[in-house]
Chains A and B, each alone.
Chain A
Amino acid sequence: MAANGITLEQLYNGFRDPDTIKMLLAKIAQIAPQLPEPLRIMEVCGGHTHSIMKFGLHQLLPDNIDFVHGPGCPVCIMPKERIDQAIALAQQPDVILATLGDMIRVPGSDTSLAKLRAQGADIRALYDPLDALVLAQQNPDKTVVFFAIGFETTTPMSAVLVQQAEAMELDNLLLHVNHVLVPPAIDAVMAGGEATINAFIGPSHVSVITGAKIYQAAVDNYQTPLVVTGFEPVDILEGVLMLVQQAIAGEAKLEIQYRRSVSHDGNLKAQQLVADYFELADAFRWRGLGDIPASALRLKPQFNHRNAELKYAQILPTDPVDDHKACMCGEILKGIKTPQQCKVFGRGCTPQTPMGSCMVSSEGACHAHYKYAGVSL
């Protein structure tokens, strides 16, 4: 159906058009020599990392433009002790643990949800968080715990889940909340001044919810251009072109390339839902980056009856579990080291046996390099 003058296929393929990609690459190559210094662009979001590596965009750009892969992969930044908590919950005989599919394979200290499920634990990989409502209705003698993960993109969906559970008076549905925020992660990367990043590609779908406004402070504080960009190759290259143009002009502005889906203010209804059910947590320990203050959300106190961390406090392990000493994820996330400079990359640390956060999911920097860039040992 060609609605509104464009078909779904055109909307999808238009931003993957090879001729447009060639033209954008030619324009970037034409003006890149004018860059006052090499441009090191952090793409904060794992979705961008995946697209850049999948389409080989990093190999098509001039030598003085580099990508640094950021901490925006909610599976990768989940510390092992939180996964251990999910595992402890799933081991309770009266619990059905439900989560989005990405979390199932990620190893905790000793095992993963996938292995536990193979041993008989009732663990459900959901596509849609609202499916947890059906699970709770169908299993009134069990407690359904939704292990909620994700950046600002997925938090509104968890808010709707709480809203609906309250409306339906489903007492047997709890949440274990691991919703994290992008701006504090940017601060953590840039703090200390050792990061080598001088431009940012802002996340696509986080920004659909939050609006571009959440990045203004980072742009001002670090005097670094930031362009909110879509996930398709044409989007990413147009975003890079805008960053190069800013850098040549000596500007540090917040711009939106992904105008068809992102506004300055974002989805206000979704933001209100998040504000209704969640509040800022004091801190969250990020795998690869450590403790970051005010970087995550928790349920508001009036929803304590839905908080699995409170209800099951006695059985949840809380000791921090660090990655292997050889893992360089923290430095890789700051652009100080590349995956290939890590001693365990591709040797002990592979997607099948990840030793550190960046290797855990296909959106992690090391995993993407391993999968698409090859390993030269």
Chain B
Amino acid sequence: MCLSIPSQVTELHPNEDSVTVDTMGVKRKVSTHLIAEPLEIGDYVLLHVGFAMNKIDHKTAIENLALLKQMELANGC
């Protein structure tokens, strides 16, 4: 029900309160009614029942993954 996977903004439709997103190869138009800040092409969003819910903070995602990789190296995995 609440599952949602990351999607990437590929087209902007500023006059329609929507953007087109790519979800692992599947493209569809989604609502931006819940997004306060303007979206740009290339941004990552979480998609849920036809709405973009937020803008994913890609810097935090990169930092999180890098930190986990460091932990792996430290653990000799």
Tell whether A pairs with B. Answer: yes
A residues whose Cβ falls under 8 Å from a Cβ of B: 1, 3-6, 8-12, 14-15, 17, 19-20, 22-24, 26-27, 45-47, 50, 72-75, 100, 102, 127-131, 150-151, 153-154, 156-157, 160, 163, 203-206, 208-209, 231, 234, 238, 259-261, 267-270, 273, 361, 363
Q: Please state if B3 and A231 are interface contacts (CB–CB under 8 Å).
A: yes
Q: Known contacts being A8-B24, A209-B53, is A361 close to B2, with CB within 8 Å?
A: no
Question: What are the residues of chain B within 8 A of A12 when measuring CB–CB?
Answer: 5-6, 24
Question: What are the residues of chain B within 8 A of A14 when measuring CB–CB?
Answer: 61, 65
Q: Please state if A205 and B58 are interface contacts (CB–CB under 8 Å).
A: no
Q: Please state if A267 and B57 are interface contacts (CB–CB under 8 Å).
A: no
Q: Please state if A127 and B1 are interface contacts (CB–CB under 8 Å).
A: no
Q: Please state if B6 and A74 are interface contacts (CB–CB under 8 Å).
A: no
Question: What are the residues of chain B within 8 A of A156 when measuring CB–CB?
Answer: 34, 51
Q: Please state if A270 and B34 are interface contacts (CB–CB under 8 Å).
A: yes
- Cα distance, A23 to B24, chains bound together (Å): 27
- Cα distance, A128 to B35, chains bound together (Å): 16
Question: What are the residues of chain A within 8 A of B49 when measuring CB–CB?
Answer: 100, 127-129, 154, 157
Q: Please state if A4 and B58 are interface contacts (CB–CB under 8 Å).
A: yes
Q: Please state if B75 and A23 are interface contacts (CB–CB under 8 Å).
A: yes
Instruction: List 6 additional A-B contacts (Cβ < 8 Å) besides A206-B2, A261-B57.
Output: A11-B61, A27-B75, A128-B51, A154-B1, A205-B2, A268-B36
Question: What are the residues of chain A within 8 A of B54 when measuring CB–CB?
Answer: 208, 261, 267
- Cα distance, A24 to B1, chains bound together (Å): 27
Q: Please state if B34 and A75 are interface contacts (CB–CB under 8 Å).
A: no
Central interface residue in B31, B46, B51, B56, by most chain A CB within 10 Å: B51
- Cα distance, A150 to B44, chains bound together (Å): 24
Give the dominant DSSP class at B's interface. Answer: mixed
Question: What are the residues of chain B within 8 A of A267 when measuring CB–CB?
Answer: 34, 36, 53-54
Question: What are the residues of chain A within 8 A of B57 when measuring CB–CB?
Answer: 259-261
Question: What are the residues of chain B within 8 A of A129 when measuring CB–CB?
Answer: 49-50
- Cα distance, A104 to B21, chains bound together (Å): 27
Question: What are the residues of chain B within 8 A of A231 when measuring CB–CB?
Answer: 3-4
Q: Please state if A205 and B34 are interface contacts (CB–CB under 8 Å).
A: no
Q: Please state if B77 and A204 are interface contacts (CB–CB under 8 Å).
A: no
Question: What are the residues of chain B within 8 A of A75 when measuring CB–CB?
Answer: 1
Q: Known contacts being A8-B8, A8-B24, is A20 close to B2, with CB within 8 Å?
A: no
Closest to A361 in B: B1
Q: Known contacts being A3-B43, A8-B44, A270-B34, is A102 close to B1, with CB within 8 Å?
A: yes
- Cα distance, A9 to B7, chains bound together (Å): 10
Central interface residue in B36, B53, B58, B60, by most chain A CB within 10 Å: B53
B77 to chain A, nearest CB (A): 4
Would you give 6 A-B contacts (Cβ < 8 Å), ordered by A? A3-B41, A128-B31, A129-B49, A231-B4, A238-B68, A267-B54
Q: Please state if A3 and B51 are interface contacts (CB–CB under 8 Å).
A: no
Q: Please state if A27 and B71 are interface contacts (CB–CB under 8 Å).
A: yes
Q: Please state if A130 and B31 are interface contacts (CB–CB under 8 Å).
A: yes
B46 to chain A, nearest CB (A): 6
- Cα distance, A9 to B23, chains bound together (Å): 10
Closest to B59 in A: A4
Which 7 pairs show the lowest CB-CB distances between chains A and B?
A128-B50, A3-B42, A260-B61, A23-B77, A269-B36, A4-B58, A260-B60
- Cα distance, A163 to B3, chains bound together (Å): 25
Partner of B48, one of A4, A160, A203, A205: A205
Q: Please state if B53 and A259 are interface contacts (CB–CB under 8 Å).
A: no
